[in-house]
Amino acid sequence: MTLDNISANKCFGGWNKQYTHRSAVLNCEMRFAIFLPPQISKGQKVPVLYWLSGLTCTDENFMHKAGAQRIAADLGIAIVAPDTSPRGEGVADDPDAGYDFGLGAGFYVNATQAPWNRHYQMYDYVVNELPELIEAHFPVSQQRAISGHSMGGHGALTIALRNPQRYSSVSAFSPISNPINCPWGQKAFTGYLGKDCESWKQYDASELMKQAETKLPALVDQGDQDGFLAEQLKPEALIAAAQASQYPLELRMQEGYDHSYFFMASFIEDHLRFHASHFGA
């Protein structure tokens, strides 16, 4: 598979780069960003953190705003940030549906409903196609962790819970923890997956955590001044699920913090060090 390098910036001794490629899974051109730490210049293969962003975001939001590269360079961790949905000519969208459905709002599911099923296969892209591409073209190991924010926190948790053999740890900021019971999730799942609510549970972190047998270390940070906390995010459902299955979840309510990248920038070092501690464990 061909990669086209469209930007490259030296950063803390490493490189922050963007690439485009043709995705067979999503049936369109996709873009991702990657931070390669300075350790790769010494011939080392480094572990990878996959970062999934939230509604309306692209690959750029996290890389430009979170301030993760300094710590990743110190720890020797590559970071890969894909786009949040397929894009381009011919990719389905519904401009009247709002920011929380369609382009920029892939929800990290495999859509089953037309016309979304032609392109919106973000679950398969993140789990399989993108890591295969990264491991074939960059000096990285097969040690992987996954994290994300809001819709991306939902994606990170559900992907890790369904594929614990692929990741050493999972973390999230302000995840949509119980999407089958919140407006964002109900809207997206109805459109992408249809009206069979039972099928939605495979993409609900709280439902998956209740039944988890193989357990990964999990860290979640949530701001207590988040405007979406009560209606959309529902961390209490995730806490209850972890208690039911004795899942090793640490969920921290952070006083005064909201849903923004100021929140993520404040605690991203904790998350990177958390993942570093579990690589090779």
150 is catalytic: yes
Backbone angles phi, psi at 186, to 5 degrees: -60, -40
Cα-to-chain-centroid distance, residue 45 = 22
Q: Is 266 a catalytic residue?
A: no
- Candidates 119, 154, 259, 275; catalytic one: 259
d(CA 209, CA 238): 8
**Among the options 53, 85, 147, 150, which is catalytic?**
150
Please give the structure tokens belonging to residue 208.
């998956």
- C-alpha angle with apex 72: 69 to 77, nearest 5 degrees? 130
Rg (CA), the chain: 17
Angle (nearest 5°) at CA 220 between 98 and 168 = 110
Catalytic residue among 119, 147, 226, 275: 226
Give catalytic status of residue 137 as yes or no.
no
Active site residues: 150, 226, 259
